[in-house]
Structure 1
Amino acid sequence: MPAKIPATVITGFLGAGKTTLIRHMLTHAKGKRIALIINEFGDLGVDGDILKGCGDSACRDEDIMELSNGCICCTVAEDFIPTMEALLARPDKPDHIVIETSGLALPQPLIRAFNWPAISTQVTVDGVVTVVDGRAVTEGRFAHDEAAVSAARDADDSIDHETPLSELFEDQLACADMIVVNKADLLSETELALTMDALKTGARPSVQVVSSAMGVLPVDVLLGMGIGAESDMEARHEVHHHHHDDEDDHDDEDEDDHHHHDHDEFESFVVTLPEITDPKAFSAKVSAIIAEHDILRLKGFAAVTGKPMRLTIQAVGPRIDSYFDQPFGTGPRETRLVVIGQTGLDRAAIETALAA
């Protein structure tokens, strides 16, 4: 039984920076195959640049195309399920599916669609990532151009026009597993910290708020790709932004303030544990540890006493998912988890809590 393919839903209003974030992600996918499903309302020209190499920038509904870097792109309207089925029927299945939605319609129906029998056995919801325009939110708006967001909504007959934008924004935050404050480079450290705190207060418990500038976020923070892969787990300790290669180079701090937000840095480590006896209790314990230590992502495999199959565990903020995926084979029957968070995780405390 092959492992399920994780699917990440990225939502946020027009202009929040979703396309920039996704373009950065595709450029840094390191050979992983990402399927991209775009469900943006109205004029797809907004996403035109991400679909460069598509041949036809409108990417007709029935087209599923390979982009030059091994990504697949298609647009979905009412055909989400057939699109997913077509994608899953391909011999060269993607490693990860990313679904970009406009933030004008709520992601809940989309998330429910993953329970469709043909899909639920093959795909798992990795998480809902909500992107917000940091500058706009700091100034008390929801989007850089609220009029454009309203116009996009009015142009679409399939969505509810009654709900105020403020409520749609609250709903986006309420269903997020991770919130990305984009355009952090336009804010002072203080403004950014206040905005991030305010967003965290409005979100569900354990939802992590991270910041990015120009859509730059490490791929394994955004998608968790590459964590949980047994082959390269030991080698991975730090997840850094590319502009932190030279830590001592802080002389230009003032001119280049937006390149040196400390919270742009993330770290990861591996915890190895013996077999577990009760998957439900273990999941509950992991959930509590994630909440207590502000863990962004946790992913890996557990050996369950008496079960030949390994249990895959993955969590993004408060969302935790586990399922048996494949037999252990000849590998050691042990539990190995990768933990990712913003720099400053209390590794010793997290290891102790997981082992308790």
Structure 2
Amino acid sequence: MASTTTHQGKIPATVITGFLGAGKTTMIRNLLTNAGGRRIALIINEFGDLGVDGEVLKGCGAEACTEDDIIELTNGCICCTVADDFIPTMTKLLERENRPDHIIIETSGLALPQPLVAAFNWPDIRTQVTVDGVVTVVDSAAVAAGRFADDHDKVDAARAEDDTLDHESPIEELFEDQLTAADLIVLNKTDLIDADGVAAVRAEVASRTHRKPAMIEAKNGDVAASVLLGLGVGTEGDIANRKSHHEMEHEAGEEHDHDEFDSFIIELGPIADPNAFVARLKAVIAAHDVLRLKGFADVPGKPMRLLIQGVGQRIDQYFDRPWAAGEARGTRLVVIGLHDMDEAAVRAAIAAAV
């Protein structure tokens, strides 16, 4: 069996981060099916408690990572629950008799990687595990569409009248924080834009961090395991050079939270016409500026559940696995947006879309 254990005898861990819908889960699913004999443990953190990403990965049937090797943390953003969730999870994982060859951690799309990487310096962990590298996945199409860039001229004009206005949006800051933490940046979904668009995205991403991590392009999250694993960086030793906006705010005495974002789960009945439902969902997303929508749907007459993944106006749908024996069929979606999202209005609009 191939192993990526470091020469110090430590288990390598890869942190995979990136904003909502960048393609992290798809990339990990591809990785697990081409793991080269490595036994991989996977820790997944999601914003919201439906656990869609874990369900997707549990259904991939990869020998490298069985259901017992997949650990879900749904109690909040991992960057805020390191002591309560991540450290105990890592401790239990390291106490297993059959320890993994490699650990992969998929952060929430709203997580700051820096506090998580810093946690690998905890005494009980640093002697046994090292951060092989931080991989930041970027939705190239979203960057090309200006999703992470405010109109700074407009903001500057507004600030001239009101000095209390922030220059950057919460989304923009988080995007930059995730890039700043990276050892490798994956420009995903490049098939959705042309060559000039890819070049512009590459330049835009490079301008958002003072560091110069390696940058590669990908389609459908298809990146070789040999590229993602074995970076050998030991990122926990360099965390001081990767400070986030929030860490700098902490130094100034400000507190960090995720009040900028909200999420909720909506449960619906069967979806008789999935294509019509998805078309109506796009209208709801546009009207209410929903950042992310994902979940599963029950389509009458179909033995499999329908996976729905929405990022902005792009919504993917496919039947991912059969409904299990005794499993309650139903439609459940996680909706994520900014804190001023009108939850009641969004719920009503989605219910009306069925």
For the superposition of Structure 1 and Structure 2, which TM-score range results when normalised by the shorter chain?
A: 0.5 to 0.7
Task: Report the equivalent of 1:6.
Answer: 12
**Could you tell me which of 54, 57, 65 is aligned with 1:50?**
57
The corresponding residue for 2:117 is 111
The alignment covers a number of residue pairs equal to: 203
Partner of 2:71: 74
Gaps (5+ residues) in structure 2? 1-6, 76-83, 150-167, 240-354
Letter in 1 for 2:30: H
Separation (CA, whole Å) in 1 of partners of 2:115 and 2:203? 28
Q: CA deviation at 1:123?
A: 0.3
Cα deviation digits, residues 44-98 of structure 1 (max 9, x gap): 12442112279xxxxxxxxxxxx64344100134321111111111122111111
Residues 73 and 320 of structure 1, relative CA distance in 2, 3 Å threshold: same
Q: Of 164, 177, 188, which residue of structure 2 is paired with 1:182?
A: 188
Q: Is it true that 1:315 corresponds to 2:310 in the alignment?
A: no
SS of the equivalent of 1:194 reads: helix
Tell me, yes or no, if the aligned pair for 1:13 and 1:132 is still in contact at 8 Å.
yes
Distance 1:2 1:105 in 2: 29
- Aligned residue identity for 2:186: V
Give CA-to-partner distance per residue, 1:163-192, whole Å, 9 cap, x none: 611111111111112111110111212211
Shift of 1:137: 0.3
- State the shift of 1:320 in Å: 7.2
Residue pair 2:135, 2:184 contacting (<8 A) in 1 also: yes
Contact 1:176 1:203 (8 Å CA) reproduced: no
Tell me which amino acid in the other structure corresponds to 1:94: P
Large movers: runs of 4+ above 6 Å: 316-321
TM-score (norm 1): 0.52
Unaligned runs of 5+ in 1: 55-66, 144-161, 225-296, 298-313, 322-356
Structure 2 CA distance for aligned equivalents of residues 320 and 211 of structure 1: 25
Residues 51 and 73, structure 1, Cα contact 8 Å, conserved in 2: yes
Give per-residue Cα distances to partners, 1:176-210, cap 9 Å, x unaligned: 12111110111212211221122122223331111
Aligned-residue identity in percent:
52
Cα distance in 2 between the residues matched to 1:2 and 1:39: 28
Please provide the CA RMSD for this pair: 2.7
Equivalent residue for 1:136?
Answer: 142
- Which TM-score applies when normalising by structure 2? 0.53
Q: 1:139: Cα distance to partner? A: 0.9
The 3 A distance-change label for structure 1 pair 86 and 2 is farther
Please say if residues 199 and 209 of structure 1, whose CA atoms lie closer than 8 Å, have aligned partners that are also in contact.
Answer: no
1:194-242 C-alpha deviation (Å, 9 max, x unpaired): 2112212222333111111010001111112xxxxxxxxxxxxxxxxxx
